[in-house]
Amino acid sequence: MTPLLAKLIIPWARPDFWGKEHQYVVEALESTWISGGPFVDQLEQSFSALSGGERALAVSNGTTAIHLAYLALDIKPGDEIVVPGFGFLAAANVALHMAARPVFCEVDPETWCMRAEDIAPVLTARTKAIVVVHTYGNVCDMDPILALASERSIPVIEDAAEAFPSRYQGQLAGTLGTIGTFSFQATKTVTTGEGGMVITRDNDLCERMMLYRSHGLRRKKHYWHEVPGLNCRLTNLQAALGCAQMEKLDRIIAERHRVYEAYAKRLAGMTGVTLQIFRADVQPVVWAIAVRLDPEVFPQGRDNVLSQMLDLGIETRPGFYSPSHIDYFNCQPLVTCDALAASVVSLPSYPTLNEQEIEHICLQLKKLGHV
Ligand SMILES: Cc1ncc(COP(=O)(O)O)c(C=O)c1O
């Protein structure tokens, strides 16, 4: 055991397998269908059903889901892709792999998500896609973003890796734009260890993603490559986990709501701490409960708070670092994103966290403030 794991008492995330996970994984093994197989089809069908009939493709992770979306949209070298400057940077990294240019925009200081007014100033004639990232389970205000994108005929990819199954005006995040992407990495609301899903209602885009997902091969025609494809497939073993998790999705959502409410009632009035804001038309399933720290109350700085919390046996995480601090992006300062990057802390957030643990975490955080 590493020293970090040895002293850890409350981890930041913890996957739980209280449903039929063991049974389904054993079934997959015993069936000998360990690569493709019926659990993959079933997982795709459950996403399709939940998303109101979108076509759903299971993939190896949330990053390859974005990669397939770019390939389907025919992103070319030099094309610009708008991404938020605060959020997980997978969409920006994949853009670089296609010799495209990630163009960073600001985000709203309250919701921590990008808005139409943040996107408009960075659009150019070279903009080929907008990737909205629904950070921490929040959902971007999609109506104005979609209106702006449609005026300019720019496709919108929704990176809903952290926002499954959050809703915007009742509609599932990931179904509002042209293509929606999801991650099933171990900390995510539904997990398959590593894995992901990409959804779209556009049949042509779906066919292209299906081709690129599996070496550019058509299922019925062996070894004939139609496009220079990749291997982005999810295995039947992984999908077995996913199917078991999808069966208990209502309970996962209920437990995540309980955890969020337990935190919110303690953090809402705490001096020096500001919770992420969710708009009234968003029904979030919060993936990571996060707060902004006021430097006057936490003069030791956010990074010191992370280490102090760890010393107390509580693993917390920083907000996402700003691309303006990451050399290879060559990005100018972004006032709001840079401020969030320096002040956000995300707290342990998983469905089995109990009331006493949440009380303990909030109390320890409060004690670190200099009020
Ligand atoms: C918003 C967002 N997009 C994409 C990804 C990448 O997903 P994966 O780790 O499954 O490749 C993540 C993180 O895991 C994420 O948080």
Q: Which residues contact 180 (CB under 8 A, 6 or more apart)?
A: 51, 54, 157, 158, 160, 173, 174, 198, 199, 200
Average pLDDT, integer, range 316-325: 97
| pLDDT of 361 higher than 70 | yes
What DSSP element (H or E) covers 278?
none
Pocket test for ligand 1, best of 12, 59, 61, 63 (most atoms within 8 A of CB): 63
For 10, the 3-state DSSP assignment is strand
Distance 62 CA to ligand 1 centre (A): 5
Residues 346, 319 contacting (CB under 8 angstroms): yes
Which residues contact ligand 1 via a Cβ below 6 A?
A: 61-63, 87-88, 90, 133, 159, 161-162, 183, 185, 196
Closest ligand 1 atom to 183 CA:
10
C-alpha distances out from residue 226 to 206, 223, 229, Å:
15, 10, 8
CA of 371 from ligand 1 middle (Å) equals 36
The CA distance from 47 to 53, in Å, is: 8
Q: Which two tokens stand for residue 22?
A: 């063991």
* Cβ–Cβ under 8 Å, residues 101 and 328: no
For 291, the enclosing helix (H) or strand (E) is: strand 289-293
Residue to mutate (ligand 1; options 61, 88, 238; most atoms within 8 A of CB): 88
- Distance from residue 135's CA to the centre of ligand 1 (Å): 10
Cα-based angle 242, 245, 251 (whole degrees, multiple of 5): 160
Whole-number pLDDT of residue 93: 98
Give the Cα separation of 237 and 308 in Å (integer): 39
For 201-221, how does the pLDDT look when each residue is reduced to its tens digit (9 = 90+)? Answer: 999 999 999 999 999 998 777
Q: Please name every residue paired with 129 in a beta bridge, in sequence order, or none if there are none.
A: 81
pLDDT band at residue 250, thresholds of 50, 70 and 90? very high
Instruction: Among 112, 162, 188, 189, say which to mutate for ligand 1: greatest number of ligand atoms within 8 Å of CB.
Output: 162
User: What atom in ligand 1 is closest to the CA of residue 135?
Assistant: 1
What's CA 313's distance to the chain center, in Å? 26
pLDDT for residue 31 is more than 60: yes
In the chain, how many H helices and how many E strands?
Answer: 13, 16
Distance 137 CA to ligand 1 centre (A): 12
Of 288, 275, 214, 258, nearest to 354 by C-alpha is: 258
pLDDT in tens, 33-62: 999 999 999 999 999 999 999 999 999 999
pLDDT digits over 170-204, tens only? 999 999 999 999 999 999 999 999 999 999 999 99
> Given a cut of 70, is residue 5 above it in pLDDT?
no
Measuring from atom 7 of ligand 1, which residue has the nearest CA?
62
And the tokens for 281?
């038309």
Cα–Cα distance list, 20 to 42, 112, 145, 364 (Å): 14, 36, 40, 36
Crossing angle of helices 62-72 and 203-213, in 10° steps, is: 120
Token output for 266: 């303690």
